[in-house]
Structure 1
Amino acid sequence: MATQMAAAAVVPSSIVSTSTTPKITASTYTSLLLSKAHHHRRLAFNPILKPSPLRLTFLPNKLRSTLPLRRTNATAPQTRCLFTGIVEELGTVKQLGKAPHGGFDMVIAAKTVLEGVNLGDSIAVNGTCLTVMEFDANTFTVGLSPETLRKTSLEELQSGSLVNLERALTPTSRMGGHFVQGHVDGTGIIFSKVPEGDSLWIKVKAEKELLKYVVPKGFIAVDGTSLTVVDVNDGEGWFNFMLVAYTQQKVVIPLKEVGQKVNLEADILGKQVERLLSGYISIWSS
């Protein structure tokens, strides 16, 4: 154990020698080495006597300085977060205004994602990982940098717009979707919406550079929603998926019209495999 700890032992005096240099005559014995400020004490057990319970009480020695502490203030160091792509609720944009840094500050009304929220927490807004800068009982505020506006469809939002919301994954969360980082790879355009019974087929056009990571029956995050790809057409540059009736009521995608943008994040596994293989290919081709 890396953390130094002082220990006090409570042992029956009839079986313990507490002298610093005990005489050991038994052929077999058990010794327990305890350390405190580099002074050692050896406890010799007489194997002839009946075993007696040994209780150890450990006292921490500067333990708090070595353990990670939970921080709940805005200056807490940022950590990498993961999401599942399972939307927790639809929030409503209440205010969107320019910020001094050149981006925008956005105020969103919500309920579920505000439970247990702290300053500095990450919340996915339409699949984009954003940091909570302010919050109250009914709303929270996030900042949108110029780069975020360029890379995502958030620039199209206005007061009254509905957005998908999801809190970051915790060790006790259920993994119902797939690993979503909240790092949008690019945007796609809704190409068609075709109902079939109570389900809805949606076709999305995407850039070739992003489409190469999209595979049939694979995962993709569309506006932060974990979805299963049905078909991919590389020649025409589109992929499609189906939304069942329940999902249509819980996410923002069905509310968008043909021609509107959606945020896209490809499965991270595909990008990692490509990165690894490109290294091997370059080595063998050289």
Structure 2
Amino acid sequence: MFTGLIEEMGVLRSVQRQGEAMILSISAAKVLTDVKMGDSISVNGVCLTVVAFDRNTFSVDIMPETYRLTNLNSIQPGSPLNLERAMMAGGRFGGHLVQGHVDGTGTIRGKTSEANAVVYTIEPNNPRLLRHVVEQGSVTLDGISLTVVSIDGEGGKFTVSIIPHTLRETVLQYKDAGETINIECDILGKYVDHLLSMREGQPVSKQGRLTESVLRDNGFM
């Protein structure tokens, strides 16, 4: 489990590819201070297992499912990566519940300045992801815990607003319109949606978007 608060940006040092499987070697500092074999580290929002490490780098395996579902399939040596260690039981919980289980990717469709913030417009590559995106709710982009500002249901997009600190400390500073970003929707919304679909006896694929009225009608509010 993670919080979506990025601890540092690492750098991809090497990629070993075998079809849709990969081994990534990543240079880092802070996340290596207490690393052990088998530890979980979030890399651009993807929960990965440490399979080797030394004082300056660690390595992780990428299986085909992860390759197909995330933006890690297109990264090249030298790419910056958001890194976060798994949450400690006694630590502060400053973000939201993040599993590191990416639901899919999206494309950045816009990047505009607003006072001290930068507003990103995201279009999920799978439109069904919008069912779990709620205004003023939480969403994880490349491992960053963010608040949804607005949703354009007809256009299939949503926006998030980034403060200067988050922009400086994460890979978002390097991403522009047209680039791909990992999306993990709020786990609470996904479970409520699943429970509602089971209660109605319909498969999830046939349900509409999770809305306030749906929650109220089914006794959740």
* TM-score, scaled relative to structure 2: 0.88
Give me the whole-angstrom Cα distance separating, in 2, the residues matched to 1:102 and 1:247: 32
Match of 2:201, SS state, is helix
Aligned to 1:173: 91
Match of 1:178, SS state, is coil
Amino acid at match of 2:4: G
Aligned to 2:77: 159
Residue 191 of structure 1 deviates from its aligned partner by: 0.3
Aligned to 1:145: 63
Offset from partner CA, 1:98-118 (integer Å, 9 cap, x none): 25x851111000000001100
Pair 1:208 & 2:130 matched: no
CA contact (8 A) 2:122 2:159 kept: yes
Amino acid at match of 2:136: K
What stretches of structure 1 move > 6 A for 4+ residues in a row?
none
Residue 197 of structure 1 deviates from its aligned partner by: 2.6
Offset from partner CA, 1:93-145 (integer Å, 9 cap, x none): 0111125x851111000000001100000000000000000000000000111
* TM-score, scaled relative to structure 1: 0.68
CA contact (8 A) 2:20 2:68 kept: no
Amino acid at match of 1:213: H
Amino acid at match of 1:272: Y
Question: Number of residues paired by the alignment?
Answer: 201
Give me the whole-angstrom Cα distance separating, in 2, the residues matched to 1:171 and 1:143: 26
Amino acid at match of 1:138: N
Query: Which residue, 28, 40, 44 being the options, matches 1:122?
Result: 40
Aligned to 2:107: 189
Give me the whole-angstrom Cα distance separating, in 2, the residues matched to 1:88 and 1:267: 20
Give me the whole-angstrom Cα distance separating, in 1, the residues matched to 2:129 and 2:6: 23
Give me the whole-angstrom Cα distance separating, in 1, the residues matched to 2:163 and 2:116: 7
Aligned to 2:210: none
Give me the whole-angstrom Cα distance separating, in 2, the residues matched to 1:133 and 1:144: 11
Match of 1:117, SS state, is coil
Could you say which structure has the greater relative contact order, defined with CA pairs below 8 angstroms and 6 or more residues apart? Answer: 2
Identical amino acids, percent of aligned pairs: 43
Aligned to 1:49: none
Q: Which runs of 5+ in 2 are unaligned?
A: 203-221
Offset from partner CA, 1:23-43 (integer Å, 9 cap, x none): xxxxxxxxxxxxxxxxxxxxx
Amino acid at match of 2:184: E
Residue 148 of structure 1 deviates from its aligned partner by: 0.8
Pair 1:93 & 2:12 matched: yes
Pair 1:217 & 2:136 matched: yes
Give me the whole-angstrom Cα distance separating, in 2, the residues matched to 1:260 and 1:202: 11
User: Over aligned residues, Cα RMSD in angstroms?
Assistant: 1.3
Query: Which residue, 155, 162, 176 being the options, matches 1:243?
Result: 162
Match of 2:58, SS state, is strand
Q: Kindly report which structure 2 residues correspond to 1:20-169, keeping only aligned pairs within 5 A, or say none.
A: 82-99=1-18, 103-169=21-87
Match of 1:212, SS state, is helix
Give me the whole-angstrom Cα distance separating, in 2, the residues matched to 1:268 and 1:108: 28
Question: Which structure has the bigger radius of gyration?
Answer: 1
Residue 170 of structure 1 deviates from its aligned partner by: 1.4
Q: Which runs of 5+ in 1 are unaligned?
A: 1-81
Match of 2:87, SS state, is coil
Q: Kindly report which structure 2 residues correspond to 1:253-268, keeping only aligned pairs within 5 A, or say none.
A: 253-268=172-187
Residue 279 of structure 1 deviates from its aligned partner by: 2.0
Residue 198 of structure 1 deviates from its aligned partner by: 2.9
